[in-house]
Amino acid sequence: MDNAQLLKGVLEGCVLAVIAKGETYGYEIIGELEKAGFDDIGEGTLYPVLTRLDKNKLIKCRRAKSPLGPVRKYYSITDEGSDALSDFKERYRKISRSAETLLYDDVPADNV
Amino acid sequence: MYNSYMKYKKNLVPEYSEAFGKVEDYVNSNIIDSLRQDEILNDVIDIFLSAQKDGRTVENVIGKDIMKFCSDLCSEVSIKSRIISVLEYTIAVLIMCFGRCAKDLFTVLQKIIEGEKINLFTYKINATPWFFLCWFGSYLAIMAVGKVIVSKFLKVSREKYRMFRYYAIAACVLPWMVVYSQFFREYENGTCSVLTVLIYFICSGAASVVYFILACEKRKINRERLEALIEEQCKPGSRSYKNFDDLEQKKFKNINEKNVREGKPEISFEEFLDMEEKNAGRKGPAFYFCTFVPVNLIILGLGHILYSLGHYAELIVYSALLIALEIYVIYVSYRGAKYTRMKRLAWIKSQR
């Protein structure tokens, strides 16, 4: 089974959660994801996610000069983004609970 | 552009520099509009520089497969972006076509001015629409094929890629020139002028729309970059800040001294700033002198030559174009200057 597919469903929500904590930029987001345990998220996977979130108006971006020189995009979350995030958190909690009861037999069924 | 990524390429260590070169070649040869390309490359170079500073390896940042990295980067591209990218080329082609078509259209215009009766529906001119469309279409086809070939060959080393690119271009242009010379020798049986003119104006209209869309988007992005630049310049301690603030203070002092001399009341700094904002776009007489005079001299000179040669049609068209260009340049620089000044004044106000 494809790891990429599993990741794809979850990644948008996680990136949105990182941005919700405060205004941030690409490299920092990768760092946060790595700290949480996502090992091989590179800019290649991240960039399309950020583009999609921006297109759907869940985040907004501001361009400023980075201390290293080139123009850097700083992302922050919008109101629709916060709503979408809490939506996603709910749905994810439900799905993961159901999946856990099936995948790991020793976990008792938890009536949500 | 205020801050192109190219300036920072030299800050990369060899390992990152090579990887970035490949990414750059891939993105530039992909069918995305130039604005997105610039943005993507800026992002990538920023990440590379940050990772380099932290001491990470290239593989750590990109993953094992650079081709996958590149294709992921360019995956979320809208159709609009792709269409704009294709049409960006057409602007250059249309300008070339204008040259080809113009000669024939001038002949028609000249005859009309000289009083010859011409029925635009039956008068035949040389440049047939088929010639036009085939030339145009083949040019687009070559560019598209060239781009696809180039992006597929990214796996080889950069030197081989560079060499190959020129061979690829030569290989495409050669057959095209053969086709051109064989098929379009006999086009004296032209077609009606109205159809040709119509096709030409439709294409020009499309090109203008594309240019307009691109200009709006670029303006939006440039505004944000300009704000970032001004903010940096206006940081206390920076040289520009000191100069700008000094300049405003001096002006303020001069105005009040003048007012006192003439017996008028002194104005406050706030009133002074409001006044400055109103006059934000105006440039000194020296600016207008230096732009207006040379351009108008050129127009007069060219006009005189064409008039004496009897090319009235060309005279009219070129003069109109040059005057339009002049107005455009002045308007754009006025607007740019006004915007910069307004931002700086707003910044000074916010500091008080």
What is the residue-level pLDDT of chain B in tens, covering all 352 positions?
Answer: 445 777 788 888 888 888 888 888 778 777 777 778 888 888 889 889 988 888 888 888 887 788 888 888 888 777 777 777 766 666 656 655 555 666 666 777 777 777 777 666 666 665 555 666 666 666 667 666 666 666 666 555 556 666 666 666 666 666 666 655 555 554 445 555 566 666 666 766 776 777 777 777 777 777 776 666 666 666 665 666 566 677 777 888 888 888 888 888 777 777 777 777 777 666 666 677 777 777 778 777 877 777 777 777 777 777 777 778 778 777 777 777 777 777 777 777 776 6
Distance CA B320, CA B116 (A): 23
Statement: the pTM of the whole predicted model exceeds 0.90: no
Question: Which own/partner contact pairs does B99-102 have at CB distance under 8 Å and 24+ positions apart?
Answer: B100/B127, B100/B132, B101/B127, B101/B132, B101/B196, B101/B200, B102/B317
CA distance A50 to chain B (A): 10
Report CB contact under 8 Å: B72, A69: no
**Which part of chain B is CATH 1.10.1900.10?**
5-73
Could you report the predicted ipTM of this complex, rounded to two decimals?
Answer: 0.83
CA distance B25 to chain A (A): 16
* Domains in chain A, CATH or no CATH each: 3-103 (1.10.10.10)
CATH of domain B5-73: 1.10.1900.10
Residue-level pLDDT at B58? 83
Kindly indicate the confidence band of residue A86, based on its pLDDT and cuts at 50, 70 and 90.
Answer: very high
CB-based contact (8 Å) between B11 and chain A? yes
A90 has pLDDT over 90? yes
Q: Which two tokens stand for residue B288?
A: 């207008």
Residue-level pLDDT at A15? 92
- The SS3 of residue A61 is strand
Q: On the CB side of A87, how many CA atoms lie within 13 Å of its CA?
A: 9
B300 or A17: which leads in pLDDT: A17
Residues of B in contact with A51 (CB under 8 A): 76
Average pLDDT over residues A5-31: 88
Report CB contact under 8 Å: B46, A62: no
Report CB contact under 8 Å: A69, B7: yes
Q: Where are the beta strands (DSSP E) in A1-112?
A: 59-65, 71-77
CB-based contact (8 Å) between B270 and chain A? no
Report CB contact under 8 Å: B228, A63: yes
Residue-level pLDDT at A19? 93
Report residue B336: phi and psi, to 5°: -65, -45
Residues of A in contact with B232 (CB under 8 A): 65
CB-based contact (8 Å) between B46 and chain A? yes
Residues of A in contact with B40 (CB under 8 A): 47
Report CB contact under 8 Å: B49, A70: yes
CB-based contact (8 Å) between B199 and chain A? no
Residue-level pLDDT at B188? 46
Residues of A in contact with B47 (CB under 8 A): 26-27, 30, 43
Residue-level pLDDT at A77? 92
- The SS3 of residue A106 is coil
pLDDT tens profile A31-64: 888 888 887 777 778 888 888 888 888 998 887 7
Burial (CB count <10 Å: 0-12, 13-18, 19+), residue A26: buried
Report CB contact under 8 Å: A65, B232: yes
Residues of A in contact with B49 (CB under 8 A): 68-70
CA distance B76 to chain A (A): 5
CB-based contact (8 Å) between A8 and chain B? no
Distance CA A66, CA A43 (A): 17
Helix (H) or strand (E) holding A36: helix A26-36
CA distance B47 to chain A (A): 6
Report CB contact under 8 Å: A48, B72: yes
